Structure 1
Amino acid sequence: MQIEILRNDRLIAGPIPWDASRVRDIIMRQGGDYRLVPNGFISPIHIGSISVLPVRSVKPELTVMQAYGQPERTASNDEVVYTYPVVERDYDEVLEEQRAKKLNEINNAYTTAAAPLIKEYPEVETKGWDQQKADAEAYLAWHETQQGEPPQMMVLDKILAGRNGEDGTETLYELSVAVQRNAAAFAEFQVLTGKRQRLAKLARAAETLEALEAIQW
């Protein structure tokens, strides 16, 4: 509940949230009998020339092309009313605002779709997936023929050491197969990456609000 405190119809404080302790303090400083202030605000309070009135806002429904203007304030013995006029907004300004919202909507939808694939992995780990994939492909290609020296690993041998600890038995071949399997699943997901890019391109090119609204994930 928002309230205003007036003295002889002159605004002293507000609009502020109802807080009995704060209201008592203000009334005391104004020379009023603060003991007459109840703990809960149910109806207007009148203490001599001091009034504590509820604040009501009148706000019409808005379209995307509208905004609230500077409100008109009217006070009676029972309440203070703020009536908000409706003003029309600039079309280009609204278009850019809605474009930003649409791009955010697209990115959020993409992130939600990606969540089942990457939810178990910290972001910093996913940044190394490309190198893991390259190591796995190189090792599996060598493992197929076992000709020459094994390829130099950039990250997989270190990951394997961490996974095995002191007594693990996982092999580099098993890890490479697992990485390749995960990489294949992630590659399938890139269809959605392309979809995100396509929708974002459409949003940036849209010249009307209707065109933006038509873009759906």
Structure 2
Amino acid sequence: MLDWLDPDSRPEFPPTAQALEHPNGLLAAGGRVSPLWLDAAYRRGIFPWNDPQEVRLWWSPAPRAIITAEQFRLSRTIRKLLRRQPYFITANQAFEQVQAACAEPRDAEGGTWIDDELLLHYPRLHAAGRAISVEAWNDGALVGGWYGVLIGSALFGESMFSRASNASKLAFATAAPILLDAGVTLIDCQMQTEHLAQFGCMEVERAEFEDRLRSAIQHPTPTPLPCVLS
């Protein structure tokens, strides 16, 4: 039975070890997605994800897909793409546009998990310096990008989109080395994908992930990304 979170109370999540195996990582329902709730969740490695028509659901899957400073790499294919970089890459210049593009339906059924509440509150985190966006532009048009939440030296990747070939991939490939050099020690990718494997993404068990996370959120927040990355 899932714990029900009272949206009128302070955020208190159950132990992550209580997360279900099927579906993997489902931990709790209810609550809110205000900046206070989001901060409390991410510090525990918990994130919201549900159909907009469903009740709010909170997740903590295991194993967890992460990229570390030690394991990060750029595949040969990505390096070739970067040498022919067709896009102008910026940071934190169009956060709300990036999030809105990530919220656009991507399948035949028109599904999306980024609802109006998320579109309202993540920009508040961005305004406070707690969320970042990276944008790919072509002839002045936004063609790709991604956004995430930053706490200490932990970066929680949220979503990405592409309207042109490899746009989000190159936006990440351009920004990630700069972030890691600036002090990011852990990039939480949530679930492993073939796309992320090109960057050295690996899966770790819950205990290792949470040990790494506890350490990362105690570190100073890295210097903000420059406005222009390439």
TM-score range, shorter chain: under 0.3
Higher relative contact order (CA 8 A, sep 6+): 2
**TM-score under structure 2 length normalisation:** 0.16
- Kindly indicate which of the two structures has a greater share of residues assigned to helix: 1
- Higher alpha-carbon Rg: 1
- Kindly indicate which of the two structures has a greater share of residues assigned to strand: 2
